[in-house]
């Protein structure tokens, strides 16, 4: 059941970020900026053309902020997450395990147990996650990692409420569009040891505030997919 407007759905797919076909006004009404209260410099997100396709370009210079949107998705029906992204510049000196170097060129957050699926509540829960105060709110965070082992969940250095899953690493694939497909139910089970609740929200983020460096990433379309007989659990 989807109660949030502007989700493009059919029997097999739920489009939650159809950047390639949406207008700037439509996209940025669905995806709202989230600004960290303690960080004065913010990542810039713009709709741009890349290879004649509309995508979101993120440019971060000693900065951090995200784009966040509410969802209400039953992952037992749509367990697969598919997206594509491209990184052309990674933050220098990043470390997946240290607070002082916790910067990543590209991230996708999946947020669970929001009080209710609306934008203001999602901003509240993001603050809870980032301040390590959340009791029930938690997240999976797919990252372009620095050196962590691919596909192995690791705790976010700021909070145990967020488990990070490296899906790309270092300079492998930099400058190229990379398509990713993940089984969110399997990743959640591997990260938290239980079946996931309903999905409350999604966010993208490119950040460089800790390393005081620069990063550039591009985010393509994002969708959830119903399973079929030919789908693998992870990629």
**What CATH number did the domain enclosing 193 receive?**
2.60.120.200
In a domain, residue 1? The reply is: no
**Greatest distance between any 2 Cα atoms in the chain:** 48
Write down the pLDDT at residue 115. 57
In a domain, residue 42? The reply is: yes
In a domain, residue 3? The reply is: no
In a domain, residue 2? The reply is: no
Write down the pLDDT at residue 37. 81
The CA-CA-CA angle for residues 164, 77, 109, to 5°, reads: 20
State how many domains the chain has: 1
> What confidence tier does 85 reach under pLDDT thresholds 50, 70, 90?
very high
Tell which residue, 222, 217, 16, 214, has the closest CA to residue 106: 217
pLDDT digits (tens, 9 = 90+) for 2-38: 334 455 556 699 999 999 998 898 899 899 998 888 8
Pairing outcome for strands 53-61 and 64-73 = unpaired
Ranking 114-128, 162-176, 211-225 by mean pLDDT, the lowest is 114-128
In a domain, residue 158? The reply is: yes
Write down the pLDDT at residue 6. 52
Write down the pLDDT at residue 63. 96
Q: What range defines the domain where residue 86 resides?
A: 10-225
How is residue 75 written in tokens? 């992952």
Q: What is the DSSP letter of 149?
A: P
In a domain, residue 197? The reply is: yes
Q: What is the Cα–Cα distance from 127 to 166, expressed in whole angstroms?
A: 23
Write down the pLDDT at residue 34. 87
Residues 6 or more apart whose CB falls under 8 angstroms from that of 126 comprise 34, 66, 68, 111, 203
Q: What is the 3-state secondary structure (H, E, C) of 53-75?
A: EEEEEEEEECCEEEEEEEEEECC
**Please, is 164 exposed, middle or buried when counting C-beta atoms within 10 Å of its C-beta (0-12, 13-18, 19+)?**
buried
> Average pLDDT of the chain?
87
In a domain, residue 84? The reply is: yes
């Amino acid at each position: 059941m989807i109660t949030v407007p502007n989700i493009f759905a059919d029997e097999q797919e739920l489009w939650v970020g159809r950047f390639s076909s949406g207008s700037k006004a439509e996209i940025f009404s669905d995806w709202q900026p989230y600004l960290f209260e303690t960080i004065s410099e913010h990542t810039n997100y713009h709709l741009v053309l890349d290879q004649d396709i509309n995508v979101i370009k993120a440019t971060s210079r000693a900065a951090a902020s995200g784009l966040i949107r509410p969802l209400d998705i039953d992952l037992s029906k749509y367990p697969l997450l598919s997206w594509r992204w491209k990184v052309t510049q990674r933050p220098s000196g990043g470390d997946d395990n240290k607070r002082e170097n916790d910067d990543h060129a590209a991230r996708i957050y999946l947020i669970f147990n929001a009080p209710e699926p609306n934008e203001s509540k999602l901003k509240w829960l993001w603050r809870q996650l980032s301040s390590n105060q959340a009791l029930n709110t938690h997240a999976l965070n797919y990252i372009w990692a620095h050196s962590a082992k691919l596909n192995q969940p690791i705790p976010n250095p700021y909070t145990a409420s967020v488990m990070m899953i490296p899906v790309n690493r270092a300079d492998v694939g930099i400058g190229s569009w990379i398509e990713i497909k993940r089984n969110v139910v399997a990743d959640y089970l591997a990260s938290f040891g239980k079946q996931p609740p309903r999905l409350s929200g999604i966010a993208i983020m490119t950040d460089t505030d800790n390393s005081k460096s620069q990063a550039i990433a591009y985010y393509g379309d994002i969708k959830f997919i119903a399973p079929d007989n030919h789908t693998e659990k992870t990629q």
